[in-house]
Structure 1
């Protein structure tokens, strides 16, 4: 009978510990999102380039290029924003979790019991992970493995740091209350440093947007002023029948549509690389830059389609 119970506990533990991030539902959703986005994006791009072969205008190709990029980026951007919100929520509630542990320990509970009690509190996105941690501990999983699974499922540097410190506090022993107070202060200092880092790097993100805006302004001025004047000269040359002769004859063969298309493509390229750079600077991740890429592409599309 005891062997049967032990096997049941081991099966439950294995079922839980299998929920590591690499095999979790979350990462499966990421893989499905990326796969769907890539297939849809490649399909749209292929169709746009195929149909553009039967048209003298580059509009079909340009529209297909933009739509294909957006189809590939927007689903990943939405997923990334949700994941960033989840992790930020976990980090914001981590000091509250530590205060709850400290309060329970001061009331006479041991650290394991305090963790179990903290799982009953409303701590936003941290609550489900605490319940999983509590279930893992109750099923007899070693503390080291339980904390490791908790750190991997939460997926933030703060939570990993906290689990390491809590594990060390349990192994070393001593005054648990004092250890928890030190951990809580350490986490608060880490969050303050992260806020300071984001505040210090925010101007560099704005600089990328400003430079992109300047490029768009110059491109719009060229297409609405300079290129229109060239078209007028071309019309005058055709009307006079002078063709490529004379002072402005070289302008007759200039293809304005291709110049506008080149400027538009340059804006899209700058939006891609500038957005990724803004994400790396602001949030420390290129993936976080997808929202900046989408914003800049929308700015480019609007700028090149404003009637002047």
Structure 2
């Protein structure tokens, strides 16, 4: 199944995702009894409000992940659909060649292949065969069947089939050449993705390391520094330092940095792996999901260790 994202559907998807994300955030805030105003503080130097509640930022990250879920599912479904077509194009074309060599006409070969196979491309061939059985010419039937799926690859395949049909006695040669080309392209794409996979893995490792380092900075370095300042009363300029050392602000700041890392890391991973920025949305989703899970796991483990050690 291919989900065609028309402009209207994209707008509806964006509105639906934002609504879902906002509903999730408000639900979590109300369930936990968080005061929205108390979750922010005014930064005097820049005169803007900045989050200071780590719990609020945690729920904001969860809402962000939930909001990305619908588009992530659609992109994954569409990418699997396109990969399925690319993988089966050489096989379908070679089966058409076998049909032509056995004495079938091009429409008959299309009908037989469409009936025998169950992949997305063969489904289009079945629709074309049905239209031809109703009296529609081959060219028009194959175009009409592929019209619903607006994928450049499908239109290239349709053009190949039309050229083979118009070539008459050279149809076998045209289809064999096309099958060889599509097979080489699919093999090259698999090889390229395999070589890129290790770089995509680095993006995922980077978010894990960043969350771990951020957690250690806030809960070990800054927390110890704040406790040292709280116990000291003779350091000159201490009110200024104490005023800015609010652990919640630094916790929120580092979580925002993790969100930015997940967004740009996901886009880069999608561009490297599939050549499209839109394919980076699933990577953004999984990177943010990893960040949320890791933050919460580290807090749970840290709380358990503090309770166990009595600190």
Please classify the TM superposition score into its range, dividing by the shorter chain length: 0.7 to 0.9
2:275 is equivalent to residue 284 of structure 1: yes
Distance across 1 between alignment mates of 2:275 and 2:65: 22
The one of 18, 36, 52 aligned to 1:52: 36
8 A contact 2:208–2:294 mirrored in 1: no
Q: TM-score with structure 2 length normalisation?
A: 0.78
Partner of 2:43: none
The one of 189, 196, 199 aligned to 2:191: 196
Tell me by how many angstroms 1:160 deviates: 2.7
What is the CA deviation profile of residues 188-242 of structure 1, one whole-angstrom value per residue up to 9, with x for unaligned ones? 11211222322333333233223333322321221232112113203312xxxx2
User: 3-state DSSP class of the match of 1:130?
Assistant: helix
Partner of 1:205: 200
User: 3-state DSSP class of the match of 1:174?
Assistant: helix
2:260 is equivalent to residue 257 of structure 1: no
Rate the CA distance shift 1:145–1:64 in 2: closer, same or farther, 3 A.
Answer: farther
8 A contact 2:39–2:56 mirrored in 1: no
Partner of 1:37: 17
Partner of 1:272: 263
Tell me by how many angstroms 1:83 deviates: 1.9
8 A contact 1:279–1:289 mirrored in 2: yes
What is the CA deviation profile of residues 58-115 of structure 1, one whole-angstrom value per residue up to 9, with x for unaligned ones? 2453134213212210121122212222222222222221122111111100111100
User: 3-state DSSP class of the match of 1:109?
Assistant: coil
8 A contact 2:22–2:63 mirrored in 1: yes
Distance across 1 between alignment mates of 2:112 and 2:9: 31
8 A contact 1:151–1:163 mirrored in 2: yes
Distance across 2 between alignment mates of 1:66 and 1:206: 22
Partner of 2:135: 140
Rate the CA distance shift 1:294–1:28 in 2: closer, same or farther, 3 A.
Answer: same
Rate the CA distance shift 1:123–1:30 in 2: closer, same or farther, 3 A.
Answer: farther
Moved more, 71-80 or 193-202: 193-202
RMSD: 3.0
Distance across 2 between alignment mates of 1:30 and 1:120: 34
2:229 is equivalent to residue 234 of structure 1: yes
Moved more, 75-84 or 50-59: 50-59
Partner of 1:164: 159
Moved more, 273-282 or 47-56: 47-56
Rate the CA distance shift 1:22–1:281 in 2: closer, same or farther, 3 A.
Answer: closer
2:216 is equivalent to residue 221 of structure 1: yes
8 A contact 2:107–2:138 mirrored in 1: no
Distance across 1 between alignment mates of 2:131 and 2:15: 32
Distance across 2 between alignment mates of 1:249 and 1:121: 79
Distance across 1 between alignment mates of 2:104 and 2:255: 65
The one of 114, 123, 140 aligned to 1:119: 114
Tell me by how many angstroms 1:162 deviates: 2.1
Moved more, 59-68 or 150-159: 150-159
Partner of 2:57: 62
8 A contact 1:277–1:289 mirrored in 2: yes
